[in-house]
Structure 1
Amino acid sequence: MARLVWFRQDLRLLDNDAVLQACQHANEERDKVFFIAMPTLQQYAQHNWSPLKWDLYQRQLNSLGADLAELGHSLEIIKLDWFADCENAIAEFCRTNDITDIYFNREYVFDEIKRDERVTQKLEHNLNIKVHSFDSNLLVPPECIKNGKGEYYKVFTPFFRVWRKYIREHGVAAPYNRASVKSSGVANFSAVNFSLPTISSDIPEADIPILNDSEAWPIGEALIRRNAQRFVREQVQDYKARRDTPAVEGTSKLSAYFEIGALSPRVAAHLLQKASPEFPEGLDDGAHTWLSELAWREFYQHLLFHEPRLAKGEPFQAEQAAFPWRNDRDEFLAWCEGCTGFPIVDAGMRQLNETGWMHNRVRMIVASFLVKDLHINWQWGETYFMQRLIDGSFPANNGGWQWSAGTGTDAAPYFRVFNPTSQGEKFDPDGHYIRKWVAELKDVPNKYIHNPHAYLREQTKQAGMFADDVKSERLYPKPIVDHKKARESFIQTFKQVKNNNERD
């Protein structure tokens, strides 16, 4: 007899309930434990996983295989194309290896839920194999937070209050150590390397190289955990004060590891718990704010679980599907390339294109600009982000874009439109972030850094250059839109769509 652990986006041994439960019950019954992973490459590509995220995932998967081998276990990696292939592949593995029980951690998006339902149906009803699922990728399972009417929360603030209450009442279990996973066997692991296929997209393609090498992001469970410990020990107290300043290292940069499951939210919460005996209350401002970011991550996963239509491209506010987007291709490509003429927007897009990551405050600025200044469908931006980000999370990315567009739950009011110039002045006052990513502006004085065009024209005249020669390294494109007019137009159109729906 044997037991099987199925890894998905939970590439860790520490604080992984599927691993712990399989190993504990195997020891009691003297069963063998098998470990498998089934990367579904066509499916991941269709879900717009970036090559950079896939590379990080694959490196961590290989690291996990090496960790298991060190503990006497083997990890078998079975390459598939689609989620629909999983049920037969797992069933065959179970028949071949006399599996009696399978263990995995739940995922909460529509396609993943359907995949797991098909696998469970086949194993339990056709093969009499017991299926055990767990929620160690969340602090609070989505079924456990309801309002007085038994409904899920559509607004973050009351969700956060009840989410903390659940944690306070149920506690946060201390992560167990690797000894509980150790086997007396001897195993080897051979690393694998697969490439994601290319799947055509409905949005215009930008002629910008797509990164596929994640070496700048360290992998290995122990190292990732130490980085989390260092952040909580040395930086979290300043998180609230520094997180909105893109020129400083004020954020944890752990999001990519949460996304692939190399770090669990319970490990993060346990680190915060050490700072306050009343946890999750009693934290200082920085720690409390970081905890709220963990809650935002879970809020969006809960939302996708309760509203599967969001995974099918629908806005949460259904009437906004009728919004008449302009969808100007050239303006979209200018946004992608960081050539809009708005320095903070261009700095953010160039950071994304060159590193596969963007500061969160700047993500909100560039999203607002695409939707509310250029009047381009938020789904174009959502897709572009997913195709580039190393930490691309469908729930968080979808939720963030719908928040910015005013189409989602808990959305920014449609009349709240970020002014990209004043946002730059507020969050990058001296232009350090802008100069780092927009080379054309590296010599512009602070006084002009957020509105550099008049200064650059004067410099161009003095140098005897043509002011319209935007291809020159010393010049910078003119703003592609009048922010004031674009803002007024967006608000008027959005309001009209809402009014039309209310009359209907």
Structure 2
Amino acid sequence: MTRLMWFRTDLRVLDNPALMHSRRDDDEATLAIYFVTEKQWQQHDLGDRRTNLMKQAACNLRESLDGLGIPLLILNKETFKDSSEALLEIMERFDISELNYNLEYEINERHRDIELGQWCKANDVQVNKFHDQCIVPPGDLKTQNDDPYRVYSPFRKAWLRLKKDYIEAPSAAPSQQDMRTISHDIRDYWAEKNWAPDFIHDALWDPAEDTAHEQLKEFLDKEGLQYHEQRDIPELDATSRLSFYLALGVLSPRQCIYTAWQPNGCLLSGGETGLDNWINELVWREFYRHLIVAYPELCKHRAFRPDYENIPWRDSAGDFERWCKGETGYPIVDAAMKQLLDQGWMHNRLRMVTAMFLTKHLLIDWHKGEKFFSEHLVDADLASNNGGWQWSASTGADGAPYFRIFNPVTQSERFDEQGHFIARYLPELNSLSPKARHFPDDKARKACAYPEAIVEHKAARQRALDTFKSMEN
């Protein structure tokens, strides 16, 4: 009898509850499997850079598991349906007695797991499921009316009450397995069928588990205590950039929060302001995951607020293309979009600025921006990306009121005071004074060959206000 560990969005050996359960004793052999489903990933709007890094992370995981005597089979299947069929065939062929995995919360993944669970029940295969993407499992926090929380602040208070300033320590790597416990038939099949994914080493992103832990420690040792003061300044490398590792599951939320909780006086709130703020961002991430479970329509990209489902968005392919390319004529917006295209990542403050610019200044459907971000971000995941876009577009849970419209010039002056970030991604503006970089005049634009502003702020703001207000009638 053999146990099978199914890796999904949890490409790590440390603090992996499903993997630890698979290796809880040495009585049964443990095998591992991972599916590369590129067609499915493309249907879910994940871009080439992100999928390349996922394949690299899977190969890194295989090396780590080899050191533990746990063979990982990587199979290339186009879709979830194909991978489920392959999984059933393998479980039947090798008399798998137990299937272990960590839960994914998106609706397609949940439907896949339900169908698989029905087969396992009919075939006497025990299924063990674990939560590793949330400290508090979705559904465990309810209002006094037994409803899911729709607003972040009371969700956070309930989350803190439940945790009571205690975070369980992350688990270590599982014990090493004696390969002799695995039959020759299985070992031959794993060796024969194993697929070596083609990937390109990314110069900017290393999806290695050791690198993730080094980056976590370095952030908390250096920038963590000043996080509340520096987090909004894009010129500084003051954010953790750990969202990339969390999105791939190379790092767990518990590892992050526990590592911050220790130097924070073993407090989740009320300790060092910088660490409190960073922990708060991780709870935000958890909030969005609770939402897609409570409101699965979000996975279908429906507006959280039904009254804003039919906003008369502008259909301007030209304006959308200028936004995508970073050619709007608003330097902070353009520099942010250039950063996204160059790095596969964007500073969080600028994610809000660019998203609000598209949905409010250009009055273009947030779905288009959400899809573009997902295709280019290395840290894209549906819950956080959808939550952030609906916040900016004022259509979501705890969204910004429709009358809150960031002035991109004011945002630039406040958070990139000297225009250093702008100059880094728009070198044509280097010759301008720091003050002029925020919004060059006509003469400076011509001299720098920088485009005219795509829209005038005051007029665009009024258009957005009128449009959103009309939805209330």
Q: Distance in 2 between matches of 1:268 and 1:288?
A: 12
- Alignment of 1:327 with 2:311, yes or no, is no
Describe the SS at the equivalent of 2:327.
Answer: coil
Write the deviation string for residues 176-197 of structure 1: whole angstroms up to 9, x where unpaired. Answer: 322x3311227898772258xx
Partner of 2:14: 14
Q: Distance in 2 between matches of 1:278 and 1:15?
A: 19
* 1:421 and 1:450 in contact (8 A); partners too: yes
- Alignment of 1:113 with 2:105, yes or no, is no
- Alignment of 1:485 with 2:463, yes or no, is no
Specify which of 406, 415, 419 is matched with residue 431 of structure 1. Answer: 419
**TM-score w.r.t. length of structure 1:** 0.89
Q: Structure 1 stretch 280-289 or stretch 351-360: which is displaced more?
A: 280-289
- Alignment of 1:175 with 2:179, yes or no, is no
Partner of 1:496: 470
Describe the SS at the equivalent of 1:322.
Answer: coil
* 1:382 and 1:397 in contact (8 A); partners too: yes
* 1:12 and 1:221 in contact (8 A); partners too: yes
Q: Which amino acid aligns with 1:128?
A: D
Aligned residues: 463
Partner of 2:220: 232
Residue pairs, 1:91-130, within 5 angstroms: 91-125=88-122, 127-130=123-126
Q: Distance in 1 between matches of 2:61 and 2:178?
A: 18
* 1:86 and 1:115 in contact (8 A); partners too: no
Describe the SS at the equivalent of 1:309.
Answer: helix
Q: Structure 1 stretch 186-195 or stretch 110-119: which is displaced more?
A: 186-195
Partner of 1:147: 143
Q: CA deviation at 1:454?
A: 3.5
Partner of 1:70: 67
- Alignment of 1:192 with 2:196, yes or no, is yes
* 1:135 and 1:141 in contact (8 A); partners too: yes
Describe the SS at the equivalent of 1:327.
Answer: coil
* 2:75 and 2:195 in contact (8 A); partners too: no
Q: CA deviation at 1:395?
A: 0.7
- Runs (4+) of structure 1 moved beyond 4 Å? 186-191
Partner of 2:58: 61
- Alignment of 1:81 with 2:78, yes or no, is yes
Q: Distance in 2 between matches of 1:270 and 1:224?
A: 15
Partner of 1:357: 345
Describe the SS at the equivalent of 1:44.
Answer: helix
CA RMSD of aligned residues (A): 1.7
Describe the SS at the equivalent of 1:422.
Answer: helix
Q: Distance in 2 between matches of 1:213 and 1:386?
A: 20
Write the deviation string for residues 141-194 of structure 1: whole angstroms up to 9, x where unpaired. Answer: 00111111111100001111111222227x32222322x331122789877225
Describe the SS at the equivalent of 2:400.
Answer: coil
* 1:14 and 1:176 in contact (8 A); partners too: yes
Q: Distance in 2 between matches of 1:265 and 1:395?
A: 15
Specify which of 281, 291, 301 is matched with residue 303 of structure 1. Answer: 291
* 1:14 and 1:177 in contact (8 A); partners too: yes
Describe the SS at the equivalent of 1:128.
Answer: coil
Write the deviation string for residues 320-373 of structure 1: whole angstroms up to 9, x where unpaired. Answer: 122111121101101111111000000001111111111110110011110100
- Alignment of 1:165 with 2:161, yes or no, is yes
Partner of 2:183: none
**TM-score w.r.t. length of structure 2:** 0.95
Partner of 2:237: 249
Residues 1:119 and 1:60: Cα distance change in structure 2 (over 3 Å): same
Q: Structure 1 stretch 241-250 or stretch 439-448: which is displaced more?
A: 439-448
Q: Distance in 2 between matches of 1:96 and 1:341?
A: 61
- Alignment of 1:377 with 2:365, yes or no, is yes
Describe the SS at the equivalent of 1:219.
Answer: coil
Write the deviation string for residues 108-142 of structure 1: whole angstroms up to 9, x where unpaired. Answer: 111111111111111112x1101000002211100
* 2:247 and 2:381 in contact (8 A); partners too: yes
Describe the SS at the equivalent of 1:35.
Answer: strand
* 1:19 and 1:181 in contact (8 A); partners too: no
Write the deviation string for residues 64-110 of structure 1: whole angstroms up to 9, x where unpaired. Answer: 00011111111001221111223322111111221111000001111
Q: Which amino acid aligns with 1:175?
A: P
Identity level (%) = 36
Partner of 1:49: 46
- Alignment of 1:24 with 2:20, yes or no, is no
* 2:18 and 2:130 in contact (8 A); partners too: yes
- Alignment of 1:399 with 2:387, yes or no, is yes
Partner of 1:389: 377
- Alignment of 1:137 with 2:133, yes or no, is yes
Q: CA deviation at 1:455?
A: 4.7
Q: Structure 1 stretch 310-319 or stretch 241-250: which is displaced more?
A: 310-319
* 2:73 and 2:195 in contact (8 A); partners too: no
* 1:137 and 1:265 in contact (8 A); partners too: yes
Q: Distance in 2 between matches of 1:242 and 1:366?
A: 19
* 1:102 and 1:129 in contact (8 A); partners too: yes
Q: Distance in 2 between matches of 1:354 and 1:213?
A: 15
Describe the SS at the equivalent of 1:9.
Answer: coil
Describe the SS at the equivalent of 1:144.
Answer: coil
Q: Distance in 2 between matches of 1:288 and 1:155?
A: 19
Write the deviation string for residues 442-476 of structure 1: whole angstroms up to 9, x where unpaired. Answer: 1111121112134515x74xxxxxxxxxxxxx310
* 1:347 and 1:437 in contact (8 A); partners too: yes
Q: CA deviation at 1:279?
A: 2.1
Q: Which amino acid aligns with 2:451?
A: P
For structure 2, the 5+ residue unaligned runs are 181-186
* 1:453 and 1:476 in contact (8 A); partners too: no
